[in-house]
């Protein structure tokens, strides 16, 4: 079995990496519409904000108050997340996306969906393949007290003593600090394998990050040491985080300090949960229904470590002691989930 899996993945992945694909251009008016829908949605996940990257197409509902973001890649149409906007339009919009893809002789899938998509998957008879786990922190019960939070509490107290502070600013805050933020981002990327990501993970693009709330860590002198871009939800059910970057001169524990302050800030703002985003391919184990596909997933986990630090990502998030919820790929019967998963991996990691 392992030789078969090796052969399959080698044919689907390596020859495509290193070959740039032109960015899909999305009309600025459509991005503005998506931004407005996100600000009013009663059905939305933090990850839905990735629609603002501009690297995916947008399919709007007939009312114009909901959308699906997706990327056409070869024979596949790959939606990132489920429908966004009005809850009572979600099922029909998901069905419409599938119908359009199949009418165009393409294979539709929804990637990065979780428990909130379960009812849609069931209604439409979609097959589910686990692709990772999402780290969720319950803010209603969150506290820095106790032995479990000791390390984070120590980092926070030290930075507060040294007069560090965290500031959360609304969309539009990036341009005033663009030069320093760019330096921090470049320094951080110089230590990472695989470079900037895309599709379901943000990148340092001013047109994208300037649409999002920005959290910064400043020293006593006002110098920027680290930053994170935030993914809000209109109903304040969850606040998510996307880019997390710090400069070469940032002190040890600066990200623990940033997140401790963000958790406390989000709780004070009325958010119920903090979404630390997904650890891709984490917790993927072979199952009776699809042992081949889950073996491919585990193989991608091992070979993808150089492109995306899977193990380090999960280890960092786990230090905050979140609970983990399953994330999966959902497709109609007849769709090759092996091909879809390979195309998603390419979309996330392709050169930019």
Provide block-wise average pLDDT over 10 residues at a time, the chain (352 residues). 32 39 67 96 97 96 97 96 98 98 98 97 96 93 89 92 95 91 95 85 93 96 95 97 95 94 96 89 48 49 48 78 94 94 87 72
- At which of 240, 257, 275 does a domain end? 275
Domain containing residue 103:
2-136+279-349
Shared-domain flag, residues 159 and 287: no
| Residue-level pLDDT at 252 | 92
Whether residues 154 and 182 share a domain: the answer is yes
User: Is there a single domain that holds both residue 170 and residue 241?
Assistant: yes
Spell 43-58 as b/e; 16+ CB within 10 A means b.
bbbbbbbbbbbbbbbb
State whether 257 and 324 are in the same domain.
Answer: no
Same domain, 200 and 317: no
Q: Are residues 147 and 113 in the same domain?
A: no
CA dist 321 → 42, 45, 176 (Å):
28, 21, 35
Same domain, yes or no, for 9 and 61?
A: yes
Domain count, the chain: 2
Q: What is the DSSP letter of 85?
A: B
CB 211 within 8 A of CB 52: yes
Q: Strands across the sheet with 323-331, in order? A: 57-60, 67-73, 76-80, 107-113, 323-331, 127-138, 273-280, 238-246, 224-232, 214-218, 165-169
Q: Is residue 217 located within the same domain as residue 102? A: no
Query: Are 266 and 286 contained in the same domain?
Result: no
| Domain's final residue, options 275, 296, 329 | 275
Please indicate, yes or no, whether residues 113 and 146 belong to a single structural domain of this protein.
no
Same domain, 114 and 185: no
Q: Which of 275, 304, 334 is the last residue of a domain?
A: 275
Query: How distant is the alpha carbon of residue 132 from its chain centre?
Result: 12
Residues 344 and 248 in one domain: no
- Host H or E run for residue 45: none
**Which CATH number do you get for residue 180?**
3.40.630.30
Helix (H, G, I), strand (E, B), or coil: what is residue 72? strand
* pTM given for the model: 0.86
The predicted pLDDT at position 21 comes to 41
């Amino acid at each position: 079995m392992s030789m078969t899996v090796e052969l399959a993945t080698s044919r689907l992945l390596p020859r495509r990496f290193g070959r740039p694909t032109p960015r899909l251009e999305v009309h600025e008016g459509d991005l503005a519409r998506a931004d407005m829908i996100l600000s009013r949605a009663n059905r939305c996940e933090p990850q839905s904000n990735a629609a603002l990257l501009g690297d995916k197409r947008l399919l709007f509902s007939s009312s114009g108050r909901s959308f699906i973001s997706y990327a056409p890649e070869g024979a596949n149409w790959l939606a990132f997340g489920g429908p966004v906007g009005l809850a009572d339009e979600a099922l029909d919009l998901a069905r419409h996306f599938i119908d359009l893809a199949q009418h165009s002789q393409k294979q539709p899938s929804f990637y990065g969906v979780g428990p909130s998509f379960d009812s849609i998957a069931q209604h439409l008879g979609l097959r589910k393949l686990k692709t990772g786990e999402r780290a969720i922190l319950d803010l209603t019960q969150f506290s820095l007290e106790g032995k479990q939070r000791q390390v984070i509490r120590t980092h926070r107290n030290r930075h507060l003593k040294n007069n560090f502070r965290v500031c959360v600013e609304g969309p539009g805050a990036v341009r005033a600090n663009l030069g320093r933020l760019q330096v921090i981002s470049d320094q951080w990327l110089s230590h990472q394998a695989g470079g900037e990501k895309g599709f379901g993970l943000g990148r340092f693009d001013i047109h994208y990050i300037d649409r999002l709330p920005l959290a910064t860590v400043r020293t006593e002198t006002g110098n920027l040491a680290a930053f994170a871009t935030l993914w809000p939800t209109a109903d304040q059910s969850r606040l998510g985080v996307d880019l997390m970057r710090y400069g070469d001169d940032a002190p040890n524990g600066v990200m623990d300090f940033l997140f401790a302050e963000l958790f406390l800030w989000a709780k004070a703002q009325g958010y119920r949960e903090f979404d630390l985003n997904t650890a891709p391919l984490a917790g993927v184990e072979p199952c009776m229904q699809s042992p081949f596909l889950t073996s491919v997933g585990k193989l991608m986990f091992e070979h993808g470590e150089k492109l995306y630090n899977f193990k380090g990502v999960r280890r960092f998030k786990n230090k905050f002691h979140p609970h983990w919820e399953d994330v999966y790929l959902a497709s109609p019967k007849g769709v090759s989930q092996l091909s879809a998963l390979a195309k998603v991996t390419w979309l996330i990691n392709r050169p930019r």
